[in-house]
Amino acid sequence: MRATWFIALDVVRRRAVLRGRLKRLALDALRRASSSSGVLVLDARLLPMGIRALVSARSRMELRSLLKRFVACFSSTNTVVEARWRASAHVHRILPHQLGAYRDFMRRCGRSGDASMSKGSQPSSNAHMRALTAIVRMVERSNESRSGSDETAARVRRYVAEHDAPRDDRDAFARLCCVIFAAGLGFGPVARCREALEAAFCGFEPSRVAELDEARATAMLAMPIIRNRAKIDACIDNGRRWHALTTGGGSYLARVAAAAADDDPSEGWPRLSAMLRADFSRLGAMTARLTLKRWGFFMAGSHPGARRLLTRLHCVDAAAPDAHVQRLIASLAQKAGRDPYSVEASLADFAADGPCRKEPHCERCALLERCPTGLAQEPQKAPETNARRPSESLQTAQSACGLPR
């Protein structure tokens, strides 16, 4: 003979993790567990830290089977966010005269869960930064689990080294040429033939590059480098311009330092960018900012992958200027006591090789529960249940999970 029971099962440490996708997964797991165990779910409410349900079962053994199946079903589908359930649940048999009071309690649970997930108060700036710092840690853990800790650390070190301040004019000119060759291709192909490029361009010494003639430029088309005649000619021409600007005995980096003193980093070094476009050929606004970025001017431009990730997290607006994105990353780095380039490298790595690519794989993303863009792409259909009456189906609450703008 069936009896009515009250069940309360919470996650470990009663952490408020059942939001958004996890909330729907828990409801679907309860529906499947109910179907396979023979226990009828009369009413169920999801709170951020656990589940409350009124069920109809023949014995405690059936309830135990329901709970075990529920945990198994939930664990099999929750592959992104860790949400472990407590080893024991609160189970109480309800007498007929107590049923009304328990139904009132379930309704209050529903209202409490809805309210907790729809708070509209804006968190403080410190709370916002703590949340973003947690995002960075999750990104770094995801990168390490995907590529291994050694490879991830090596990628970050390479990125920081490539954007460190150049040692001298030769190093700065080499980075300028690499930016020109990377246009339209990315820096991967340039890095793979870096040694051949250095040999072809006389070690990127501006004075020696300035002496290269038409015959040498034609011969380069047979070398194992990026065989683009327009880019080759641009680098040779820029070598001549660089040499002409430093003929008096100074260095071009000294010219850059003098111009930087009168520029505004918070606006992305606009005067420096204009100076580079005037001094060299084949440098547009984007390549000029990218050159400055490779010379250690962090605020000059944002990495497209890091920017895409922060935009999908609603941390920055899609139309925000690059300087705004860089200020946010710099603030995150300061909060975490890190180099800004290392934080940007982690975000860029996650966006390039992780789930947050141009065509995202949100279902595999470790940030899904904090990403408004990912949650918006998921189906909103509520799971069905085998309840006795339609009015007693499982209840769902809309989630307002995600980082504040």
Secondary structure, 3-state, the chain = CCEEEEEEEEEHHHCCCCCHHHHHHHHHHHHHHHHHHCCEEEEEEEECCEEEEEEEECCHHHHHHHHHHHHHHHHHHCCCCCCCECCCCEEEEECHHHHHHHHHHHHHHHHHHHHHCCCCCCCCHHHHHHHHHHHHHHHHHHHHHHHCHHHHHHHHHHHHHHCCCCCCHHHHHHHHHHHHHHCCCCHHHHHHCHHHHHHHCHHHCHHHHCCCCHHHHHHHCCCCCCCCHHHHHHHHHHHHHHHHHCCCCCCHHHHHHHHHCCCCHHHCCHHHHHHHHHHCCCCCHHHHHHHHHHCCCHHHCCCHHHHHHHHHCCCCCCCCCHHHHHHHHHHHHHHHCCCHHHHHHHHHHHHHHCCCCCCCCHHHCCCHHHCHHHHHCCCCCCCCCCCCCHHHCCCCCCCCCCCCC
Q: Is the pLDDT of residue 370 over 70?
A: yes
Give me the phi and psi of 93, to 5 degrees please.
Answer: -80, 135
The pLDDT mean for the chain works out to: 84
pLDDT band at 288 (very low <50, low <70, confident <90, very high): very high
Supply the pLDDT for residue 395.
38
End-to-end CA, the chain: 54
Calculate the alpha carbon distances from 75 to 68, 82, 403 in Å: 11, 9, 25
Highest mean pLDDT among 24-28, 130-134, 149-153, 379-383: 149-153
Q: Who wins on pLDDT, 369 or 306?
A: 306
Contact 185, 226 (CB under 8 A): yes
Q: Who wins on pLDDT, 5 or 336?
A: 5
Distance CA 277, CA 273 (A): 6
Q: Is the pLDDT of residue 107 over 90?
A: no
* Out of 107-111, 120-124, 297-301, 396-400, least confident range: 396-400
- Contacts of 303 by beta carbon, 8 Å cutoff, 6+ apart: 344, 347, 348
Supply the pLDDT for residue 400.
32
pLDDT band at 266 (very low <50, low <70, confident <90, very high): confident
Residue 285 neighbours by CB distance under 10 Å = 13
Supply the pLDDT for residue 114.
52
Q: Is the pLDDT of residue 80 over 70?
A: no
Contact 347, 305 (CB under 8 A): yes
Does the domain at 166-261+270-295 match CATH 1.10.340.30? Answer given as yes
Supply the pLDDT for residue 257.
93
Distance CA 132, CA 310 (A): 10
Q: Is the pLDDT of residue 256 over 50?
A: yes
Supply the pLDDT for residue 14.
65
pLDDT in tens, 176-227: 999 999 999 999 999 999 999 999 999 999 999 999 999 999 999 999 999 9
Q: Which of 119, 120, 101 is nearest to 109 (CA)?
A: 101
Supply the pLDDT for residue 399.
34
pLDDT band at 402 (very low <50, low <70, confident <90, very high): very low
Q: Who wins on pLDDT, 164 or 23?
A: 164
Q: Is the pLDDT of residue 385 over 70?
A: no
Does the domain at 3-117 match CATH 3.90.1300.10? Answer given as no
In the chain, the percentage of residues whose pLDDT exceeds 70 is 86
Distance CA 290, CA 277 (A): 12
Give me the phi and psi of 96, to 5 degrees please.
Answer: -55, -40
